[in-house]
Homo-oligomer: A and B are copies of this chain.
Amino acid sequence: MIEYHLNGDVSLNSPTKMPDAGSFLWNKHMMIQMNCRGYATAQFMQPEPAKYAHGPNIEATTFIQPEHPYYSHHPGRFFYIKDEQNQHVFSVPYAPVKKTPDEFHFIAGKSKIRWIIAQQQLLVELTLTLPCDDVAELWQINLTDMSGKARKLSLYSYFPVGYKSWMNQSAYYDDNLNAIICESITPYQKVEHYFANQRHKDSTVLISEFAATSFETRQAQFEGEGGLNFPDGVYQTQLQRGLAKYETPTAAMQFAIELSANSQYQQHFIFAPIESAEQAIQLKQQYMGATQFKRAKAQYQDYITSGQGCIRINSPDADINQFVNHWLPRQAFYHGDVNRLSTDPQTRNYLQDAMGMAYINPQTSQQAFITAISQQYHSGAMPDGILLHEKASLKYINQIPHSDHCVWLIICLQAYLNETNDYALLSLKLPFKDSTEQVSVFEHITLAIEWLLSQRDKRGLSFIAQGDWCDPMNMVGYKGKGVSTWLSLATAYALNIWRVIALQQQEHELAAQLALVANDINHCVNQHCWDGAWYHRGITDDGVGFGVSTDTEGRIFANPQSFALLAGAADAQQKCSIYHQVKQQLATPFGLMMLAPSYTKMREDIGRVTQKYPGTAENGSVYNHAAIFYAFALLEQGDGDGAWEVISKMLPTMDEDDLLTRGQLPVFIPNYYRGAYYQQPDVAGKSSQLFNTGTVAWYYRCIIEKVLGLQGCPQGLLVKPNLPSHWQTLNATREFRGATFEVSYQQLKGQATADSHSTAAKNVTLWLNGEQLPKRIIDNIQPGAHYQLTVIIA
């Protein structure tokens, strides 16, 4: 059973089947994803992403993987508890012993993660939080007797540290610090790497509040023949005080506890990567103890609260209120504030994360646009990744040229300008990646447009090259001939956006040109890319259209349809056909698939996506980042109900069956749910558990600008709501350009045009502070002012 708490926490109570749900915390320097069973995935920056707890083998460094499997020796944070009177042992949170507890509550809070567990007449309360400014986990454990009798217990921390290095790894117990310090040296071979690694936090420390009765730093000896279910170490009277000498280290400490009847024991732990023992001393001084934990928790809560965003809603849907008010801005804040813990975010992601930040912290958003634009090439091309650190380099997918980054610059900048009115940014002069010449942001964008237009074939369609977006089928156009329907349409959409901004900037000639070219592109797409009932996805190097009705796999793709709506390419008849086909072929109970049917085998002429597993990642999953654009496009068409149908499926519901199917709590939107719904219904809906996704910025934008219709414009606030028709009333608080709007919506019954994909403007009347407004724009907004806005939709 899941429930929401008033403070935004989501809690999971002991279900009959133990779920794999979890939650995550982060600060500026680190991220930790905790599974409710105790498994953990954590990274920190130095400046490249690094780990401080590992599996007991050599792990590959990759980007964070979706559907990451957990296994017995997966890194985690565990405590064993032994009743010394009867030798009964269990572990909390759940693994490794995995005895079914009497009660099990997993509480995902915005600034902390908690468990409350009852087992063997003990109530165990575990809490994890992070400090704001250090890479460290702060753990608190409370044990309360519920038997009414005095207890003799042993508490064992078991924080496995894993295989740290093939060069050097060891561990010891520091008596003064009450800490196990696991030392290592990041392996290197080349001289230059030695110097690069010199300041690495290569050691991992577990500091306890109280002195340990005994300890074991050797993973193998802690486990013994009993293994993690029945570790020899725990079943012996005392841990063996062993020192790991080039052996897999672990941080196991034993604490003898005498607990009088109904009383409580509390202890705190700090788990952190450190460069030296001195840093452990500092961490201990700063964070160890109940008072210090309380202070750190409060500070961290302040940090999370600083990212609470510009909207609060009270709709008839409690789940959506909870998510939009608490978790959505939190996830967008994570993306925009720490850039997914990467030093080379993909340009497309970085720009969209910056867009999301416009609704939370516009200064950070502005700085991100400046950073990105300063890394544009003089040719107008945007790089594949934005380097955030002087020593950063492009890694993984950023080594593959993608052709679409320029369109995102324009699309995302629009949202920033809407929200902030910061048109002054367009005059700011910035350099290039490959030139110190400084030109205005406006001119940078003009160059980006020119570059986009230069990358087209004779027909006027955009080359797809090694890949564009979301479904980078890297062999479609690697020979330099294949084209992308989506990118052609996205270019037309971006041109239309910039046309409006150019007009605003009195660049009438440019605006007229942009209108002409966008129109040309749309025309060209209609000529070459309309397959009869929907737009295809592109044309291969060999001239074969794909994503067409004669394809048995990959027959229809969502993105070209969404962007045809956004770019204005589709006429009324085409729109009608698109709505129907998307619903028929792509809609599922878990959301909109990005393509269908999933590819089950390689199509040599199309490429990579067809090698991914059906229903995952880009191969026909419910790729939320693609789905949100279809919702956005429907909202632009005025179809609030159609959009809501897509948006509302992006989160698991409060239904326990849904939780078990998807495997996650409704505290974040994952990059995908398994799709291939008609091909593999048994695994469809499963969450990727990966919370890095451009979806959240767009979800937030959809809610603010399109659903609530509270969109910024040069004159002020444009009010153009598209509420789902089943919401008759709604209240919202909107922070906007320094003012606060308390907005009250009323949607009159029977007037909604559900399922009609209506493009007709709704009859909306506005009352500001009790006075009816003559138009839909609120201008002359005073910073600091409070406005009462009533919106009547008929």
The reply on A30 being an interface residue by CB < 8 A is: no
Asked if residues A58 and B58 are in contact (CB atoms below 8 Å), the reply is: no
Alpha-carbon distance A59/B71, docked complex (angstroms):
14
Q: Which of B58, B219, B247 contacts A59 (CB 8 A)?
A: B58
> What are the residues of chain B within 8 A of A60 when measuring CB–CB?
58-61
The closest CB in chain B to the CB of A17 belongs to B225
> What are the residues of chain B within 8 A of A775 when measuring CB–CB?
none
Kindly identify, within residues 231 to 290 of chain A, every residue whose CB is under 8 Å from any CB belonging to chain B: 245-248
Asked if residues A245 and B18 are in contact (CB atoms below 8 Å), the reply is: no
A161–chain B nearest beta-carbon distance, Å = 12
Question: How many residues does chain A have at the interface if contact means C-beta atoms less than 8 Å apart?
Answer: 63
Main secondary structure, interface of A, reads loop
Given contacts A189-B474, A474-B189, contact A613 B225 (CB under 8 A): no
Alpha-carbon distance A167/B614, docked complex (angstroms):
10
A753–chain B nearest beta-carbon distance, Å = 40
Binds B, one of A148-156, A396-404, A635-643: A396-404
A464–chain B nearest beta-carbon distance, Å = 12
Alpha-carbon distance A170/B219, docked complex (angstroms):
32
Given contacts A60-B59, A69-B56, A167-B613, contact A400 B227 (CB under 8 A): no
The reply on A608 being an interface residue by CB < 8 A is: yes
The reply on A362 being an interface residue by CB < 8 A is: no
Asked if residues B246 and A67 are in contact (CB atoms below 8 Å), the reply is: yes
The reply on A616 being an interface residue by CB < 8 A is: yes
Given contacts A60-B58, A191-B474, contact A683 B73 (CB under 8 A): no
A348–chain B nearest beta-carbon distance, Å = 16
The reply on A293 being an interface residue by CB < 8 A is: no
Alpha-carbon distance A167/B69, docked complex (angstroms):
14
Asked if residues B615 and A246 are in contact (CB atoms below 8 Å), the reply is: yes
The closest CB in chain B to the CB of A398 belongs to B189
Asked if residues B190 and A227 are in contact (CB atoms below 8 Å), the reply is: no
Asked if residues B475 and A194 are in contact (CB atoms below 8 Å), the reply is: yes
Given contacts A191-B466, A399-B190, contact A166 B65 (CB under 8 A): yes
Given contacts A189-B400, A191-B475, A683-B246, contact A74 B57 (CB under 8 A): yes
Copies of this polypeptide in the complex: 2
Alpha-carbon distance A191/B60, docked complex (angstroms):
21
The reply on A213 being an interface residue by CB < 8 A is: no
> What are the residues of chain B within 8 A of A191 when measuring CB–CB?
466, 474-475, 478, 607
> What are the residues of chain B within 8 A of A614 when measuring CB–CB?
245
Alpha-carbon distance A474/B168, docked complex (angstroms):
16
Asked if residues A245 and B611 are in contact (CB atoms below 8 Å), the reply is: no
The reply on A295 being an interface residue by CB < 8 A is: no
The reply on A163 being an interface residue by CB < 8 A is: yes
The closest CB in chain B to the CB of A191 belongs to B478
Asked if residues B245 and A683 are in contact (CB atoms below 8 Å), the reply is: yes
> What are the residues of chain B within 8 A of A226 when measuring CB–CB?
98
> What are the residues of chain B within 8 A of A550 when measuring CB–CB?
none
Complex A-B: 26 CB contacts under 8 Å: A55-B71, A57-B57, A57-B69, A58-B59, A58-B60, A59-B60, A60-B61, A67-B247, A69-B219, A71-B72, A72-B73, A72-B227, A96-B227, A98-B227, A168-B613, A188-B608, A189-B397, A189-B399, A189-B400, A190-B474, A191-B466, A191-B478, A191-B607, A194-B475, A194-B608, A245-B680
**Given A55-B71, A168-B611, A168-B612, 8 more pairs with CB closer than 8 A:** A18-B225, A69-B248, A98-B226, A168-B613, A185-B611, A189-B397, A194-B475, A245-B615
A interface residues with partner B (beta carbon < 8 Å): 18, 55-62, 65-67, 69, 71-74, 96, 98, 163, 166-170, 185, 188-191, 194, 219-220, 225-230, 245-248, 396-397, 399-400, 466, 474-475, 478, 607-608, 611-616, 674, 680, 682-683
**CB-CB nearest 10 A-B residue pairs:** A246-B613, A60-B60, A56-B71, A58-B60, A168-B613, A72-B72, A71-B73, A191-B478, A69-B248, A185-B611
